[in-house]
Chain A
Amino acid sequence: MATPIDSSQPRLAPGCRWGGSEQERVILFPEGAIRLQGTGRQVLERCDGQRTFAEIITELQSQFKDADPAKVRADIGVFLEQLQQKRIVDY
């Protein structure tokens, strides 16, 4: 499985869920936790199984107006692919 495509609908994998406090949100999964800040948190909060990859990219590109849109897309694709490899995200 490679990078998500435009129509992919990323979501947390079975048994993976949010935890932690409001200040410090974490994703909890078997044998681990990832603390999320900044962009990572923004991306994962949008992985609700409804939004498509294309929609998530568009939302974040408009948030980070100063960033190169192609880089935003590439970085988020890599981020999600890494999480998919760890079986934290499905798409």
Chain B
Amino acid sequence: MVPNPLALIAEVTHRCPLHCVYCSNPRQLAAARSELSTDDWKRVFEQSGKLGVLHAHFTGGEPLARQDLTELIGAARAAGLYTNLITSGVGLAEARLQALIDSGLDHIQISFQDSREDAANWLAGAKAHAHKIELAHAIRRHKIAFTVNLVVHRQNLDHLEEMIAFIERLNPQRMEIAHTQYYGWALANRAALMPTLAQVEKAVAVVAEAEKRLAGRIRIDSVVPDYYAKYPKACMGGWGRRLMLVNPAGKVLPCHAAEILPGMSFDNIREKSLEWIWQDSPSFRQFRGEGWMPEPCRSCERRSEDFGGCRCQAFLLAGDMNATDPACSLAPSHQVVKVAVQEGNLSPRSGQPPSASGSFVELQKLNEDLWSYRTNPD
């Protein structure tokens, strides 16, 4: 018997009004017409509650794009789950915020792309920054847990102190300084996002200082990017150990990227029970335990801490989902990560936000040598 999952990631839609260049959604987005219905999601939450799941994370795309979000949050809460909304804030004003809180929303996390308006809008491919600030003020008037998530990378790390000071003024209880992870669009745009070593080292010091200064007032969570670490991250807390994700079309996955893995068949909540999928499905069993591990993982003393790292990253970078995550310094394929890091340090590509803001299409044209903006599903 596998211990029950702690959290359900409810990826309710891939529709999104933003086009962030660091988005880690799969490039193959779920079509709007394939999305689960309200009743489908209610069943997911009921089954999750029975399975002992404690947290539901509403994410996407942009979860606010779902017109029934208030109902979904109510259903998750009724099933006994703590509800977290991971959002850009676009589509949320006072009335809807109140409705979400009334239906049981426990925690809201708003993303910010930068402290500077034109840079933030350039990274997101949309003019969202001013609205996010308004929303942060509105949230502070309510009794709800509030986190600001800041995604960091080469294009904004040089003014990390300024961004942290900016977030402090928004007064959340918690701050996440999230180094970009290279999946989806972020991987495609990696050459423009990879921080330099100097930036990473400076960031570690800046965050440490801010943690001390803000202790007891704002909690800061931050992790060194795995390309720069000696050992890989324990991705999702291990395959099928702590977390499960239901994607917009009802596929149940151990993480948001797993559909790219070749030869794997993931089960759908429309056809199978959540409990069976978690406990017994071949996909969830595939990388549990140690039987699947190659060397050096199989004999490594860290194998029960990081589980050999990320399967998706092993496939994306080394072409083999069974291999040691190349982010690990002990991985046979570690060279691919070293080369990416070197390129990022020797020939860092940078851009500037445009002086005049035009449409998203114009923005893409202006920046086509730098990166690709996230598109929308059909």
Tell me the bound Cα distance from A26 to B81 in angstroms: 12
Residues in chain A near residue B109, CB distance under 8 A: 30
Return the CB mask of A8-24 against B: 1 if under 8 Å, else 0: 00000111110110000
Are the C-beta atoms of A1 and B216 separated by less than 8 Å? yes
Number of interface residues of A (CB under 8 A): 18
Tell me the bound Cα distance from A33 to B6 in angstroms: 9
Smallest beta-carbon distance B353→chain A, Å: 31
User: Which B residues, 91 to 120, have Cβ-Cβ distances below 8 Å to chain A?
Assistant: 106-107, 109
User: Which B residues, 171 to 230, have Cβ-Cβ distances below 8 Å to chain A?
Assistant: 173-174, 215-219, 221
Residues in chain A near residue B217, CB distance under 8 A: 1
* Given contacts A14-B145, A15-B146, A19-B80, A30 and B107 within 8 Å (CB-CB): yes
Tell me the bound Cα distance from A91 to B82 in angstroms: 23
Residues in chain A near residue B84, CB distance under 8 A: 30-31
Are the C-beta atoms of B216 and A30 separated by less than 8 Å? no
Are the C-beta atoms of B145 and A30 separated by less than 8 Å? yes
Tell me the bound Cα distance from A13 to B174 in angstroms: 12
Q: Is A52 an interface residue (CB 8 A)?
A: no
User: Which A residues, 3 to 51, have Cβ-Cβ distances below 8 Å to chain B?
Assistant: 13-17, 19-20, 26, 28-31, 33
Q: Is B144 an interface residue (CB 8 A)?
A: yes
Tell me the bound Cα distance from A29 to B7 in angstroms: 12
Return the CB mask of A51-84 against B: 1 if under 8 Å, else 0: 0000000000000000000000000000000001
Tell me the bound Cα distance from A33 to B55 in angstroms: 9
Are the C-beta atoms of B219 and A14 separated by less than 8 Å? no
- Interface residue ranges, B against A (CB under 8 Å): 6, 54-55, 80, 82, 84, 106-107, 109, 143-147, 173-174, 215-219, 221
- Interface residue ranges, A against B (CB under 8 Å): 1, 13-17, 19-20, 26, 28-31, 33, 84-87
